[in-house]
Amino acid sequence: MQTFIAWKERIAGLSARKRYALSFALGLLAVLALPPVHIVPLLVPAFVGLVWLLDAATTRRAAFFTGWWFGWGFFIAGLYWMAYSFLVDAAQFGWMIPFAIPGLAAVAAIYIGLTTLATQWLAPAGLRRVALLPAMWVVFEFLRGILLTGFPWNLMGSVWVFHAPMLQGLALFGAYGLSLVTICAAIAPAALADAQASARARWSMLGAGAALLAIVWIAGAVRLADAPLDTVPGVRLRLIQPDVAQSLKWQPELRAEIMQRLLSISAEPAQGAAPTHIIWPETAVPVFLEYSPNDLAAVGRVTPPGGALITGAPRIRRTGENENDVQLWNSIHVIDAEGRIRANYDKAHLVPFGEYMPLPSWLGRVALAADRTDFSPGPGPTTIAIAGAPPASPLVCYEAIFPAHVTAPWEDGVTRPQWLLNVTNDAWFGISSGPYQHLASARMRAVEEGIPLVRAANNGVSGVYDAFGRVRAEAGLGHRAIVDADLPTAIASATPYARYGNYTLSVVLLIYVVVFPVFPKGRIRATFRKS
């Protein structure tokens, strides 16, 4: 214990500038726990150091910036891959990289700054602060996921996506609950440096963090022990990963070549059973299929009889006589063997600055959507019928990262989707950690909802993942590939999280505050009197 106390005192003796620099470095360190690296033990020094730095902050301003600098390091390193999207047209957008990535990270870091500010405000230094910070982190992580259209990227619970037993907790309390468990375990050793607490109290705090992690792991392992490997009879999926470079995708002279690549790959002989359903990625087709009967007919010729070909494609509607009077959607088409579009889904959760310009009168046309017509949002999550397959919940690109927002409302036995169908185009982000982080979020939705995930990506990662988050088939990042696989079955009864969504988070936080009495008696009342 004396070693921990000495480390904490050494941090307290640093100048404010050095403490902020250390906080930034700890944020960088925490990123190494995220996909695809998954060095999860590094969260221990990252969060222990963060709470000790917070104890050294004597003012509210210092408390806020202790978290903000940690967050800036965390988000700069965690979102560096966004720079690749500016390099698709480097001549026009490359200059924005030094401003866009640090700027986005600076905004996202505000949530972590508010986390440490609220923690200092509500709890004194010591065991109560160690217990409160995980809860405050999750509260502001949740707010980050819903405010300003939401950005729930790299939730702390995603560090476990490589380990199926830990993921099973998602079925009960979702991604935010798994974040809470993760941070509780990581931050618990900080209690050993509380010289004011008894040795028994300090070791109890450490033991509680470890026990919480162990309980979730053991319960997950037990759940997996009885988890079936059943598949839907008569459904054989073929996922096409065409690996078309983003810089070439929309060049008019290459559209016929790209279409032919998709058709020829789709028609290749199967190693096992013949596919019944073929799935192409987001905007795989660089044409408006509704106005291209020849292309639709060609698609119909490779579509399995009685099944369907499902593809991402742009969709357009003329709204006036002028050439620019159009409305655009980023869509999914379900096409039958006769070349007829049987169902459409229009992406509802659009990417700011990429698919539409927020506040155009203020910001102007200064982003990746510049000089283009904005996409229009669709009506929201829905369940679509697909010939020869169970009903699916379609998701375009990063719609799959939003907990509790990947399926339409349903009632037992009526419209509950039986699989998540995610088409995406991560070619924007090159060979980087971005596509792996994106996949991790999507896999978490499968466990939360208790239904399998089928994911077709332009250049990876494409795959089939069952309702327990296990990999059934997968193609790696950065190459052309075909994934032939059966469709796993959904869990017969919906998970608690699928039924109640993020309401479960409120229950988990309430239980947490009761088990760990994080608020000192009279502390909140006294704080408000001083404010």
* pLDDT tops 60 at residue 247: yes
CA distance 210 to 231: 36
CA distance 502 to 152: 13
Q: Are residues 208 and 257 in the same domain?
A: no
Q: Are residues 350 and 208 in the same domain?
A: no
Is the pLDDT higher at 184 or at 88?
184
Number of domains comprising the chain: 2
* pLDDT tops 50 at residue 529: no
Tell me the pTM: 0.93
Strand ranges across the sheet with 471-475: 384-386, 389-396, 419-424, 453-457, 462-465, 471-475
Q: Which phi and psi (to 5°) does residue 428 adopt?
A: -55, -25
**pLDDT at res. 371:** 47
Q: Are residues 204 and 305 in the same domain?
A: no
* pLDDT tops 70 at residue 290: yes
Q: Cβ neighbours of residue 469 under 8 Å, at least 6 residues apart?
A: 161, 164, 167, 168, 170, 443, 444, 446, 447
Q: What mean pLDDT comes out for the span 300-329?
A: 91
* pLDDT tops 50 at residue 124: yes
Is the pLDDT higher at 272 or at 446?
446
Strand ranges across the sheet with 308-318: 341-346, 326-335, 308-318, 277-279, 231-241, 481-488
Range of the domain at 475: 231-500
User: 243's torsion region: left (phi>0), alpha (psi -120 to 50) or beta?
Assistant: left
* pLDDT tops 80 at residue 367: no
Q: Give the confidence band of 318 by pLDDT, cuts at 50, 70, 90.
A: confident
Q: Are residues 209 and 258 in the same domain?
A: no
**pLDDT at res. 369:** 47
* pLDDT tops 90 at residue 511: no
CA distance 206 to 184: 9
**For 73-96, what is each residue's pLDDT tens digit?**
999 999 999 999 999 889 889 999
Q: Are residues 286 and 408 in the same domain?
A: yes
How high does pLDDT run on average in the chain?
Answer: 92
The residues annotated as belonging to the active site are 282, 347, 397
Q: How far is CA 70 from CA 52, 102, 123, 176, in A?
A: 13, 13, 20, 19
Q: Are residues 509 and 457 in the same domain?
A: no
**pLDDT at res. 412:** 60
| Cα dihedral 131, 174, 437, 443 sign | positive
Q: What mean pLDDT comes out for the span 341-348?
A: 97
Return the CATH number at 411. Answer: 3.60.110.10
Contact 360, 371 (CB under 8 A): no
Q: Are residues 79 and 156 in the same domain?
A: yes
Contact 123, 520 (CB under 8 A): yes
Q: Are residues 261 and 206 in the same domain?
A: no
Q: Give the confidence band of 524 by pLDDT, cuts at 50, 70, 90.
A: very low
Q: What mean pLDDT comes out for the span 418-441?
A: 96
Burial track 373-394 (b if 16+ CB lie within 10 A, e otherwise): eebbebeebbbbebbbbbebbb
**For 22-52, what is each residue's pLDDT tens digit?**
999 999 999 999 999 999 999 999 999 999 9
β-strand partners of 463: 455, 474
Which residue shows structure tokens 């655009």?
328
Contact 54, 120 (CB under 8 A): yes
Q: Are residues 58 and 73 in the same domain?
A: yes
Q: Are residues 76 and 153 in the same domain?
A: yes
**pLDDT at res. 531:** 42
Q: Are residues 495 and 509 in the same domain?
A: no
DSSP assignment of 486-529, as one string?
A: EEEPPPSS--HHHHHTTHHHHHHHHHHHHHS--SPTTHHHHHHH
Q: Are residues 295 and 444 in the same domain?
A: yes
Distance of CA 121 to the CA centre of its chain: 30
Is the pLDDT higher at 513 or at 125?
125
Q: Cβ neighbours of residue 377 under 8 Å, at least 6 residues apart?
A: 346, 347, 348, 349, 350, 356
